[in-house]
Amino acid sequence: MSDRKYRHRGYQDTGKPERKEKPKERSPEPRPRQDQLGPRTPRMVGSVTRARCSNCGTVLVPGFDVNGRCPRCQAELHACKQCLYFDTGARFECMQPIPDPIPKKDARNDCSFYVFRTTVEKDTAPSAPASMATTEGLRPDSARKAFDDLFKK
């Protein structure tokens, strides 16, 4: 048992020699040299232009029929909701000067201003080519493979 309650420095110092801890020695392993000169090039996420169904969000394959239906939810593709000019804040919910309002925005129509909406998205698929449609589900081992690919040298 000790003669004092607190053992921190400065409390009832009695002249005992201080214990100094030795600094830990580093192993003499050299760091690996970089093979390149200058800063590393950042890995930028690519972007891809995709067409999606506005009803269910399914990615439509390139070359789809604009006058057809969505392969997943069977929504009409030639409708106001799928159009580039559809805007809920605009007059008649269209950015083009249409003379009469179209009552059902998700029903098929023959508007002359219709242009299918495509978006530019970040290509976040780890190994899938940009042209591949992501309508099919991911295989269970693909997530594991993507994780393992992060740590390959």
What residues does each domain of the chain span? 45-120
Q: Which residues pair with 69 in a beta bridge?
A: 76
145 CB-side CA count, 13 A: 9
| Tens-digit pLDDT profile for residues 5-15 | 666 666 665 66
Residues in the chain: 153
Residue 130's pLDDT is what? 42
Tokens representing 79? 């409708």
| Tens-digit pLDDT profile for residues 59-115 | 999 889 999 999 999 999 999 999 999 999 999 999 999 989 999 999 999 999 999
Question: Which run of H or E residues covers position 147?
Answer: helix 140-150
R_g over Cα of the chain: 32
DSSP string, 85-146: TB-TTSGGGBSS--SS--S-TTSB---TT--B-EEEEE---SSS-TTS---SPPPHHHHHHH
